[in-house]
Chain A
């Protein structure tokens, strides 16, 4: 069965500091994609970053980087130099081709950036 686990329901970080949001996944398929989405209080879901299971390097997108540890089945999101606008819910998701290409979402982590 495919599963995404986010164990941190809430996180706090000081402005300008870095923060890591944890995500572990479970799949027996060697081919999968991992995604992070941000959901601010306004409600929309915003794509942040993608990592393919065969990618050799960790993905980076501006202040976002994905710490991909395949053996541990973890795909943690690192936000550097946190800003007040980073306060939001963050969802980790996985897509596995042999399961009908469905997206599996974690339960999310609420991040609050403190001035």
Chain B
């Protein structure tokens, strides 16, 4: 158990809908990262938050947004969903801003299926 909690584990929805994925980092970790994993794109970095502030942005679509709350949990909002958004979405956490030695601890992921 990595200590990172993601909910829900599975999500099935329709095109055009909006969903929210939730992540609680490991106790003491200040950084939260979101990744998208699909068969054709591999692991794609979406966004990182550190202590409530956006720290780095990757290949995140404008239809997607995220935030980190004062209690350090994070939510990833996906709107106007398309079939191509179907993927495994991971949350990960690390203790600091991202020093070279900081490993990421991953949650078990949310499998999103857009029908």
Contact = CB atoms under 8 A, between A and B. Distances in A.
Contact of A97 (B43, B48, B99, B103): B99
Interface residues of B, number: 26
A47 B43 CA distance: 15
Contacts, number: 67
A29 to B, nearest CB: 9
A44 B45 CA distance: 16
A76 interface: no
A44 B104 contact: no
Interface residues of A, number: 25
B100 A102 contact: no
A57 interface: no
Interface of B: 2, 33, 42-43, 45, 48, 55-56, 58, 88, 90, 92, 97-109, 111
Given A46-B106, A103-B104, 11 more contacts: A31-B100, A33-B99, A33-B102, A35-B104, A44-B108, A100-B56, A102-B45, A102-B48, A102-B56, A102-B58, A105-B43
Interface of A: 31-33, 35, 37, 42-47, 50, 52-53, 91, 95-97, 100-103, 105, 107-108
